[in-house]
Amino acid sequence: MLNIIGIGLRGTGSLTLDEFDALRTSDIVYLDIYTSIGPKDILEKLRNIADREIIPADRNMIESESILKDAEKLNVSLLVIGDGLTATTHNQLRYSAMEKGIKVKIFENASAVNTAAGKIGLLHYKVGPPVSLPFVSSNFFPLSVIDKVKRNYDSGLHTPILIDLKDGQNMPFASAWNIIMEMQKRKGVCNNRRKCMRCLEAFISG
Ligand SMILES: C[S@@+](CC[C@H](N)C(=O)[O-])C[C@H]1O[C@@H](n2cnc3c(N)ncnc32)[C@H](O)[C@@H]1O
């Protein structure tokens, strides 16, 4: 059995009662530390509240799907900050588990991706698909980021930009800003600096 448990955006405060029950009755509990950054003390707080060991699961542990081995016989929970199915990584894990005949239970919760827009006053009807902004290099500079923003823009929609994380750290805002400015320059689109700025501000506030 695999429980994929989104714990929301308020640390242990947004853990639901159902999630708490699932947590307490699991044989093994992991916390995803790869796709989201939580409050510094989240692991310790979760351990205290659940009164059990919670194993931090890094990129390798999640992508190798090693946690599914135990889920074949035991009750395993994967805690995810935010919602449990917002990242492709967890969807992949879910379908791999199902293919192996492992029962999967999903505990939905609030996600940064679908709450940020509302929080800063944007209407959800006006928000298009989000775009990930990865770390770039001289060999990897994907202008498709701008194509996706432009597609939304041309349809009158805002674009949430998900700034990539590495080793538990956010890409600094200044780097994200510079990368986007350079991308739009290379694409020759969006000369309206104010609109681009508002778009980035929206993400940061969220
Ligand atoms: C696919 S989303 C899912 C995040 C999370 N599971 C949720 O539902 O909110 C992953 C992206 O969320 C953003 N993110 C996650 N944790 C964050 C944090 N603490 N601060 C800012 N952005 C964060 C990053 O842009 C990251 O690339």
C-alpha 23/C-alpha 38 separation (Å) is 18
Taking 80 as the threshold, does the pLDDT of residue 58 lie above it?
Answer: yes
Query: Tokens standing for 202?
Result: 């929206």
Q: Where are the domains of the chain?
A: 2-110, 113-205
Residues 162-175 have a mean pLDDT of 88
Cα 67 to middle of ligand 1, angstroms = 22
Residues 130-150 have a mean pLDDT of 95
Taking 50 as the threshold, does the pLDDT of residue 152 lie above it?
Answer: yes
- In which band, very low, low, confident or very high, does the pLDDT at 203 lie, cut at 50, 70 and 90? very low
Q: What's the per-residue H, E or C state across the chain?
A: CEEEEECECCHHHHCCHHHHHHHHCCCEEEEECCCCCCCCCHHHHHHHHHCCCCEEECHHHHHCCCHHHHHCCCCEEEEECECCCCCHHHHHHHHHHHHCCCCEEEECCCCHHHHHHHHCCCCHHHECCCEEECCCCCCCCCCHHHHHHHHHHHCCCECCEEECEECCEECCHHHHHHHHHHHHHHHCCCCCHHHHHHHHHHHHHC
Cα 113 to middle of ligand 1, angstroms = 7
CB of 80 closer than 6 angstroms to any ligand 1 atom: yes
Residues 92-121 have a mean pLDDT of 95
**pLDDT for residue 141:** 97
Cα 12 to middle of ligand 1, angstroms = 17
- In which band, very low, low, confident or very high, does the pLDDT at 191 lie, cut at 50, 70 and 90? low
CB of 113 closer than 6 angstroms to any ligand 1 atom: yes
CB of 165 closer than 6 angstroms to any ligand 1 atom: yes
Residues 116-121 have a mean pLDDT of 89
CATH 3.30.950.10 fits 113-205, yes or no: yes
Average confidence score pLDDT of the chain: 91
Cα 71 to middle of ligand 1, angstroms = 25
**pLDDT for residue 175:** 93
With the CA atoms of 136, 61, 55 and 39 taken in that order, what torsion angle do they form, in degrees rounded to the nearest 10? Answer: 20
ipTM computed for the complex: 0.93
Written out in words, the top-level CATH class of the domain with range 2-110 is alpha beta
Q: Determine if residue 86 is labeled as part of a ligand binding site.
A: yes
Count of C-beta atoms within a 10 Å radius of residue 178: 12
| Residue % of the chain over a pLDDT of 70 | 92
Q: Which of 36, 120, 201 to mutate to test the pocket of ligand 1 (most atoms within 8 A of CB)?
A: 36
